Amino acid sequence: MARKLKIGIIGCGGIAEGKHLPSLSKLEQVELTAFCDIIAEKAEKAKAEYGGEDSRVYEDYRELLEDQKIDVIHVCTPNSSHAEITIAALEAGKHVMCEKPMAKTSEEAKAMVEAAKRTGKKLTIGYNNRFRQDSRHLKAVCEQGDLGDIYFAKAHAIRRRAVPTWGVFLDEEKQGGGPLIDIGTHALDLTLWMMNNYKPKAVLGTTYFKLGQKKNAANLFGSWDPEKFTVEDSAFGFITMQNGATISLESSWALNTLDVDEAKCSLSGTEGGADMKEGLRINGENLGQLFTTKVDLNDGNIAFFEGEQETEADLEARLWIDSIIHDTPPLVKPQEAYVVTQILEALYESAKTGKAVYFDE
Protein backbone atom coordinates (compact mmCIF):
# COMPACT_ATOMS: atom_id res chain seq x y z
CA MET A 1 0.00 0.00 0.00
CA ALA A 2 1.23 3.48 -0.86
CA ARG A 3 2.43 5.75 1.91
CA LYS A 4 -0.36 7.73 3.52
CA LEU A 5 -0.37 11.48 2.98
CA LYS A 6 0.37 13.30 6.22
CA ILE A 7 -1.93 16.24 6.87
CA GLY A 8 -1.57 19.28 9.09
CA ILE A 9 -4.56 21.36 10.18
CA ILE A 10 -3.94 25.06 10.85
CA GLY A 11 -6.90 26.51 12.72
CA CYS A 12 -8.86 24.01 14.83
CA GLY A 13 -12.08 25.99 15.27
CA GLY A 14 -15.59 25.49 13.98
CA ILE A 15 -14.95 24.87 10.27
CA ALA A 16 -12.16 22.40 10.99
CA GLU A 17 -14.24 20.51 13.56
CA GLY A 18 -17.41 20.72 11.53
CA LYS A 19 -16.10 19.88 8.05
CA HIS A 20 -12.42 19.16 7.47
CA LEU A 21 -11.53 16.83 10.33
CA PRO A 22 -14.58 14.53 10.19
CA SER A 23 -14.25 14.09 6.41
CA LEU A 24 -10.48 13.61 6.31
CA SER A 25 -10.67 11.07 9.14
CA LYS A 26 -12.77 8.79 6.90
CA LEU A 27 -10.07 8.53 4.23
CA GLU A 28 -7.65 5.60 4.33
CA GLN A 29 -5.13 7.48 2.17
CA VAL A 30 -4.35 10.12 4.79
CA GLU A 31 -3.06 10.49 8.32
CA LEU A 32 -3.85 13.51 10.50
CA THR A 33 -0.50 14.20 12.10
CA ALA A 34 -0.36 17.89 13.11
CA PHE A 35 -2.83 20.30 14.71
CA CYS A 36 -2.22 24.01 15.13
CA ASP A 37 -4.23 26.76 16.78
CA ILE A 38 -3.31 29.95 18.63
CA ILE A 39 -5.56 28.58 21.39
CA ALA A 40 -3.67 25.44 22.39
CA GLU A 41 -6.73 23.79 23.94
CA LYS A 42 -8.46 23.70 20.54
CA ALA A 43 -5.48 21.96 18.93
CA GLU A 44 -5.25 19.51 21.82
CA LYS A 45 -8.95 18.71 21.49
CA ALA A 46 -8.61 18.07 17.76
CA LYS A 47 -5.61 15.82 18.30
CA ALA A 48 -7.42 13.82 20.98
CA GLU A 49 -10.35 13.22 18.67
CA TYR A 50 -8.69 12.78 15.29
CA GLY A 51 -4.95 12.33 15.78
CA GLY A 52 -2.70 9.43 16.66
CA GLU A 53 -0.10 8.84 19.33
CA ASP A 54 2.59 10.49 17.21
CA SER A 55 0.50 13.50 16.23
CA ARG A 56 1.84 16.86 17.33
CA VAL A 57 0.24 20.06 18.56
CA TYR A 58 1.44 23.57 17.70
CA GLU A 59 0.50 27.14 18.57
CA ASP A 60 2.68 28.66 15.82
CA TYR A 61 1.97 27.53 12.25
CA ARG A 62 5.57 28.29 11.24
CA GLU A 63 6.83 25.51 13.49
CA LEU A 64 4.36 23.08 11.97
CA LEU A 65 5.51 23.96 8.44
CA GLU A 66 9.09 23.06 9.36
CA ASP A 67 8.06 19.39 9.55
CA GLN A 68 9.16 18.06 6.15
CA LYS A 69 7.11 14.89 6.59
CA ILE A 70 3.83 16.79 6.26
CA ASP A 71 2.46 16.66 2.71
CA VAL A 72 -0.77 18.62 2.90
CA ILE A 73 -2.00 21.64 4.86
CA HIS A 74 -5.60 22.67 5.46
CA VAL A 75 -5.92 26.36 6.33
CA CYS A 76 -8.99 26.93 8.53
CA THR A 77 -8.20 30.32 10.05
CA PRO A 78 -9.87 33.77 9.81
CA ASN A 79 -9.82 35.34 6.34
CA SER A 80 -7.10 37.87 7.22
CA SER A 81 -4.48 35.11 7.58
CA HIS A 82 -5.44 32.91 4.62
CA ALA A 83 -2.87 34.35 2.22
CA GLU A 84 0.01 34.54 4.68
CA ILE A 85 -0.35 30.94 5.86
CA THR A 86 -1.17 29.50 2.44
CA ILE A 87 1.83 31.08 0.74
CA ALA A 88 4.15 29.99 3.55
CA ALA A 89 2.80 26.43 3.33
CA LEU A 90 3.21 26.29 -0.45
CA GLU A 91 6.76 27.58 -0.17
CA ALA A 92 7.44 24.94 2.48
CA GLY A 93 6.57 22.30 -0.11
CA LYS A 94 3.04 21.47 0.99
CA HIS A 95 -0.16 21.13 -1.02
CA VAL A 96 -2.83 23.43 0.41
CA MET A 97 -6.58 23.49 0.81
CA CYS A 98 -7.59 26.91 2.10
CA GLU A 99 -11.06 27.63 3.38
CA LYS A 100 -13.20 30.11 1.50
CA PRO A 101 -13.05 32.93 0.71
CA MET A 102 -9.62 32.73 -0.84
CA ALA A 103 -8.42 35.94 0.83
CA LYS A 104 -9.51 39.36 2.10
CA THR A 105 -8.17 41.15 -0.97
CA SER A 106 -7.56 40.37 -4.63
CA GLU A 107 -3.90 41.29 -4.19
CA GLU A 108 -3.53 38.57 -1.56
CA ALA A 109 -5.46 36.08 -3.68
CA LYS A 110 -3.27 36.81 -6.70
CA ALA A 111 -0.17 36.22 -4.58
CA MET A 112 -1.59 32.82 -3.58
CA VAL A 113 -2.15 31.86 -7.22
CA GLU A 114 1.40 32.94 -8.09
CA ALA A 115 2.84 30.98 -5.15
CA ALA A 116 1.12 27.81 -6.31
CA LYS A 117 2.50 28.28 -9.84
CA ARG A 118 5.97 29.10 -8.53
CA THR A 119 6.19 26.11 -6.21
CA GLY A 120 4.38 23.59 -8.38
CA LYS A 121 2.21 22.58 -5.42
CA LYS A 122 -1.54 22.15 -5.59
CA LEU A 123 -3.86 24.78 -4.17
CA THR A 124 -7.62 24.62 -3.83
CA ILE A 125 -10.25 26.66 -2.00
CA GLY A 126 -13.04 25.20 0.15
CA TYR A 127 -16.09 25.95 -1.98
CA ASN A 128 -17.87 22.83 -0.77
CA ASN A 129 -21.25 23.71 -2.30
CA ARG A 130 -19.93 22.64 -5.69
CA PHE A 131 -19.99 19.09 -4.33
CA ARG A 132 -23.73 19.00 -3.56
CA GLN A 133 -25.65 16.60 -5.76
CA ASP A 134 -27.90 19.32 -7.19
CA SER A 135 -24.85 21.46 -7.99
CA ARG A 136 -23.03 18.64 -9.76
CA HIS A 137 -26.12 17.68 -11.76
CA LEU A 138 -26.77 21.27 -12.81
CA LYS A 139 -23.12 21.65 -13.83
CA ALA A 140 -23.50 18.60 -16.09
CA VAL A 141 -26.68 20.10 -17.57
CA CYS A 142 -24.79 23.32 -18.32
CA GLU A 143 -21.79 21.51 -19.78
CA GLN A 144 -23.88 19.49 -22.24
CA GLY A 145 -25.45 22.72 -23.49
CA ASP A 146 -29.04 22.20 -22.37
CA LEU A 147 -29.33 25.84 -21.27
CA GLY A 148 -27.43 27.24 -24.24
CA ASP A 149 -25.60 30.53 -23.72
CA ILE A 150 -26.27 31.59 -20.10
CA TYR A 151 -26.60 35.38 -20.24
CA PHE A 152 -28.48 36.14 -17.00
CA ALA A 153 -28.07 34.64 -13.54
CA LYS A 154 -28.89 35.29 -9.92
CA ALA A 155 -26.63 34.31 -7.01
CA HIS A 156 -28.67 33.76 -3.84
CA ALA A 157 -27.28 33.96 -0.29
CA ILE A 158 -30.15 35.28 1.81
CA ARG A 159 -30.75 34.53 5.47
CA ARG A 160 -33.67 36.11 7.32
CA ARG A 161 -32.00 36.05 10.76
CA ALA A 162 -28.86 33.94 11.02
CA VAL A 163 -26.03 36.23 12.05
CA PRO A 164 -23.00 34.16 13.17
CA THR A 165 -22.27 35.54 16.63
CA TRP A 166 -19.25 33.35 17.46
CA GLY A 167 -15.60 33.67 16.52
CA VAL A 168 -14.56 36.69 14.46
CA PHE A 169 -17.42 36.79 11.92
CA LEU A 170 -18.48 40.30 12.99
CA ASP A 171 -14.90 41.66 12.89
CA GLU A 172 -14.19 43.50 9.64
CA GLU A 173 -10.44 43.56 10.24
CA LYS A 174 -10.26 39.77 10.60
CA GLN A 175 -12.87 38.84 7.99
CA GLY A 176 -12.90 41.65 5.44
CA GLY A 177 -16.68 41.90 5.48
CA GLY A 178 -19.95 40.26 6.48
CA PRO A 179 -22.47 38.14 4.55
CA LEU A 180 -21.11 39.15 1.14
CA ILE A 181 -17.67 37.67 1.76
CA ASP A 182 -18.99 34.89 4.02
CA ILE A 183 -21.96 33.34 2.20
CA GLY A 184 -22.28 35.53 -0.89
CA THR A 185 -18.93 34.09 -1.92
CA HIS A 186 -20.45 30.58 -2.12
CA ALA A 187 -23.36 31.74 -4.27
CA LEU A 188 -21.08 33.71 -6.59
CA ASP A 189 -18.66 30.80 -6.94
CA LEU A 190 -21.51 28.46 -7.90
CA THR A 191 -22.90 30.93 -10.43
CA LEU A 192 -19.60 31.62 -12.18
CA TRP A 193 -18.82 27.89 -12.25
CA MET A 194 -22.17 27.04 -13.87
CA MET A 195 -21.72 29.78 -16.46
CA ASN A 196 -18.03 28.90 -16.94
CA ASN A 197 -17.49 32.64 -17.14
CA TYR A 198 -14.59 34.23 -15.26
CA LYS A 199 -14.18 37.50 -17.12
CA PRO A 200 -15.94 40.34 -15.26
CA LYS A 201 -16.32 43.75 -16.89
CA ALA A 202 -17.91 45.97 -14.22
CA VAL A 203 -19.78 45.82 -10.92
CA LEU A 204 -22.08 48.07 -8.91
CA GLY A 205 -22.59 47.18 -5.26
CA THR A 206 -24.46 48.33 -2.17
CA THR A 207 -24.01 47.31 1.46
CA TYR A 208 -26.24 47.97 4.47
CA PHE A 209 -25.90 48.06 8.23
CA LYS A 210 -29.52 48.39 9.24
CA LEU A 211 -30.71 45.47 11.33
CA GLY A 212 -27.25 45.01 12.84
CA GLN A 213 -27.87 48.19 14.84
CA LYS A 214 -30.72 46.58 16.80
CA LYS A 215 -30.22 45.34 20.36
CA ASN A 216 -31.68 42.09 21.68
CA ALA A 217 -32.65 41.11 18.15
CA ALA A 218 -34.18 37.75 17.27
CA ASN A 219 -31.47 35.59 15.74
CA LEU A 220 -30.90 31.89 15.15
CA PHE A 221 -27.55 32.03 16.93
CA GLY A 222 -28.56 34.38 19.76
CA SER A 223 -28.65 38.17 19.88
CA TRP A 224 -25.61 40.04 18.65
CA ASP A 225 -23.83 42.98 20.24
CA PRO A 226 -24.30 46.01 17.91
CA GLU A 227 -21.06 47.51 19.26
CA LYS A 228 -19.10 44.51 17.95
CA PHE A 229 -21.02 44.25 14.67
CA THR A 230 -18.47 46.00 12.41
CA VAL A 231 -19.48 44.49 9.04
CA GLU A 232 -22.52 44.86 6.80
CA ASP A 233 -25.68 42.89 7.55
CA SER A 234 -26.69 42.71 3.87
CA ALA A 235 -25.12 43.41 0.49
CA PHE A 236 -26.27 43.38 -3.12
CA GLY A 237 -24.49 43.55 -6.44
CA PHE A 238 -24.98 43.95 -10.16
CA ILE A 239 -22.21 42.31 -12.17
CA THR A 240 -21.65 42.50 -15.91
CA MET A 241 -19.27 40.18 -17.74
CA GLN A 242 -17.10 40.89 -20.76
CA ASN A 243 -19.33 38.76 -23.00
CA GLY A 244 -22.39 40.79 -22.01
CA ALA A 245 -23.80 38.39 -19.41
CA THR A 246 -25.35 39.81 -16.23
CA ILE A 247 -25.33 38.45 -12.67
CA SER A 248 -27.44 39.74 -9.78
CA LEU A 249 -25.97 38.89 -6.37
CA GLU A 250 -27.90 39.08 -3.10
CA SER A 251 -26.57 38.31 0.36
CA SER A 252 -27.68 38.86 3.94
CA TRP A 253 -27.33 37.56 7.47
CA ALA A 254 -30.32 39.63 8.61
CA LEU A 255 -33.03 40.89 6.30
CA ASN A 256 -36.79 41.31 6.62
CA THR A 257 -37.74 38.83 3.93
CA LEU A 258 -39.28 35.39 3.56
CA ASP A 259 -37.48 34.77 0.27
CA VAL A 260 -34.64 32.85 1.89
CA ASP A 261 -32.05 30.87 -0.07
CA GLU A 262 -28.39 30.20 0.57
CA ALA A 263 -25.61 29.03 -1.75
CA LYS A 264 -27.95 28.71 -4.73
CA CYS A 265 -28.20 30.16 -8.20
CA SER A 266 -30.78 30.75 -10.91
CA LEU A 267 -29.72 30.62 -14.56
CA SER A 268 -31.29 31.86 -17.79
CA GLY A 269 -29.88 30.79 -21.14
CA THR A 270 -30.81 30.85 -24.80
CA GLU A 271 -32.06 27.24 -24.74
CA GLY A 272 -33.42 26.92 -21.21
CA GLY A 273 -33.20 27.95 -17.59
CA ALA A 274 -32.67 26.42 -14.18
CA ASP A 275 -33.01 27.25 -10.51
CA MET A 276 -32.48 25.66 -7.11
CA LYS A 277 -35.49 27.29 -5.46
CA GLU A 278 -37.60 24.19 -4.84
CA GLY A 279 -35.14 21.44 -5.47
CA LEU A 280 -33.48 21.54 -8.89
CA ARG A 281 -35.82 22.74 -11.63
CA ILE A 282 -35.09 22.96 -15.35
CA ASN A 283 -37.33 25.03 -17.60
CA GLY A 284 -37.53 25.46 -21.34
CA GLU A 285 -39.54 25.01 -24.52
CA ASN A 286 -40.16 21.83 -26.49
CA LEU A 287 -42.35 21.27 -29.57
CA GLY A 288 -43.97 24.66 -29.12
CA GLN A 289 -44.79 24.10 -25.45
CA LEU A 290 -43.20 25.47 -22.29
CA PHE A 291 -42.05 22.91 -19.75
CA THR A 292 -40.72 22.79 -16.19
CA THR A 293 -38.99 19.65 -14.94
CA LYS A 294 -38.13 19.00 -11.33
CA VAL A 295 -35.07 16.77 -11.26
CA ASP A 296 -35.54 13.71 -9.04
CA LEU A 297 -32.48 13.81 -6.80
CA ASN A 298 -32.09 11.72 -3.67
CA ASP A 299 -31.43 13.27 -0.25
CA GLY A 300 -28.23 14.91 -1.46
CA ASN A 301 -25.89 12.13 -0.35
CA ILE A 302 -24.19 9.41 -2.35
CA ALA A 303 -23.74 5.87 -1.11
CA PHE A 304 -20.20 5.65 0.22
CA PHE A 305 -20.21 2.15 1.58
CA GLU A 306 -22.84 0.03 3.22
CA GLY A 307 -24.27 1.72 6.28
CA GLU A 308 -22.84 5.19 5.59
CA GLN A 309 -23.41 8.10 3.25
CA GLU A 310 -20.84 10.35 1.59
CA THR A 311 -21.69 13.97 2.29
CA GLU A 312 -20.63 16.94 0.17
CA ALA A 313 -17.80 17.59 2.64
CA ASP A 314 -16.68 13.96 2.37
CA LEU A 315 -16.70 14.16 -1.43
CA GLU A 316 -14.79 17.44 -1.36
CA ALA A 317 -12.08 15.91 0.84
CA ARG A 318 -11.86 12.68 -1.16
CA LEU A 319 -11.59 14.35 -4.55
CA TRP A 320 -9.02 16.83 -3.20
CA ILE A 321 -6.83 14.02 -1.89
CA ASP A 322 -7.32 12.07 -5.13
CA SER A 323 -6.09 15.09 -7.11
CA ILE A 324 -2.86 15.01 -5.12
CA ILE A 325 -2.36 11.24 -5.37
CA HIS A 326 -3.10 11.11 -9.11
CA ASP A 327 -1.63 14.55 -9.93
CA THR A 328 -4.81 15.91 -11.50
CA PRO A 329 -6.28 19.43 -11.21
CA PRO A 330 -8.52 20.00 -8.17
CA LEU A 331 -12.20 20.72 -8.89
CA VAL A 332 -11.89 24.22 -7.42
CA LYS A 333 -9.01 25.88 -9.22
CA PRO A 334 -7.18 28.79 -7.56
CA GLN A 335 -7.60 31.07 -10.59
CA GLU A 336 -11.39 30.65 -10.36
CA ALA A 337 -11.42 31.50 -6.65
CA TYR A 338 -9.23 34.52 -7.39
CA VAL A 339 -11.89 35.93 -9.74
CA VAL A 340 -14.53 35.46 -7.03
CA THR A 341 -12.37 37.51 -4.65
CA GLN A 342 -11.79 40.16 -7.32
CA ILE A 343 -15.53 40.63 -7.77
CA LEU A 344 -16.29 40.68 -4.03
CA GLU A 345 -13.59 43.30 -3.43
CA ALA A 346 -14.93 45.41 -6.28
CA LEU A 347 -18.47 45.22 -4.87
CA TYR A 348 -17.24 46.47 -1.49
CA GLU A 349 -15.31 49.27 -3.20
CA SER A 350 -18.36 50.25 -5.24
CA ALA A 351 -20.52 50.30 -2.11
CA LYS A 352 -18.07 52.68 -0.40
CA THR A 353 -17.65 55.06 -3.35
CA GLY A 354 -21.16 54.87 -4.79
CA LYS A 355 -19.62 54.32 -8.22
CA ALA A 356 -19.27 51.36 -10.56
CA VAL A 357 -15.91 49.56 -10.58
CA TYR A 358 -14.48 48.49 -13.93
CA PHE A 359 -12.04 45.65 -14.62
CA ASP A 360 -9.17 45.63 -17.08
CA GLU A 361 -9.93 43.46 -20.08
Looking only at the bridges linking them, the beta strands covering 150-158 and 56-58 are unpaired
- Note the pLDDT of residue 352: 98
Q: What angle do CA 333, 313, 177 make, to 5 degrees?
A: 65
- Note the pLDDT of residue 303: 47
Yes or no: say if 7 and 33 are a contact pair by the CB < 8 Å rule.
yes
The C-alpha atoms of residue 18 and residue 288 are separated, in whole angstroms, by 49
Q: Is pTM beyond 0.85 here?
A: yes
- Note the pLDDT of residue 308: 61
- Block means of pLDDT (10 residues each) for the chain, length 361 residues? 89 96 97 97 97 94 97 97 98 98 97 98 98 96 98 98 95 95 98 98 98 96 95 98 98 98 98 95 96 81 56 96 97 98 98 97 75
Yes or no: say if 268 and 151 are a contact pair by the CB < 8 Å rule.
yes
- Note the pLDDT of residue 30: 97
The C-alpha atoms of residue 25 and residue 201 are separated, in whole angstroms, by 42
How distant, in Å, are the alpha carbons of 10, 21, 26, 113 from that of 56? 12, 15, 20, 29
What letter represents residue 246's amino acid?
Answer: T
DSSP E strands, 165-242 = 200-208, 234-241
CATH number of the structural domain 5-128+306-333 = 3.40.50.720
Q: Do domains 5-128+306-333 and 130-302+340-358 have the same CATH topology?
A: no
The C-alpha atoms of residue 167 and residue 169 are separated, in whole angstroms, by 6
**If we measure between CA atoms, which residue out of 294, 306, 285 comes closest to residue 137?**
294
Q: Alpha-carbon dihedral of residues 197, 356, 267, 193, nearest 10 degrees?
A: 30
SS3 breakdown of the chain: % helix, strand, coil, rounded to 5?
A: 35, 25, 35
Looking only at the bridges linking them, the beta strands covering 308-310 and 357-358 are unpaired
Class of domain 130-302+340-358: alpha beta
The C-alpha atoms of residue 202 and residue 199 are separated, in whole angstroms, by 10
What letter represents residue 306's amino acid?
Answer: E
Q: What angle do CA 337, 176, 262 make, to 5 degrees?
A: 60
- Note the pLDDT of residue 304: 46
Burial of residue 58, with CB atoms counted within 10 A of its CB: 0-12 exposed, 13-18 middle, 19 or more buried: buried
Residue boundaries of the structural domains of the chain: 5-128+306-333, 130-302+340-358
Rg of the chain, C-alpha, whole Å: 21
Per-residue DSSP letters for 295-343?
----SS-EEEETTEEE-HHHHHHHHHHHHHHTT---SS-HHHHHHHHHH
How distant, in Å, are the alpha carbons of 24, 104, 157, 188, 264 from that of 254? 33, 22, 11, 19, 17
157 - beta bridge partners?
251, 262
**If we measure between CA atoms, which residue out of 181, 164, 165, 183 comes closest to residue 173?**
181
3-state class of 52 per DSSP?
Answer: coil
- Note the pLDDT of residue 298: 67
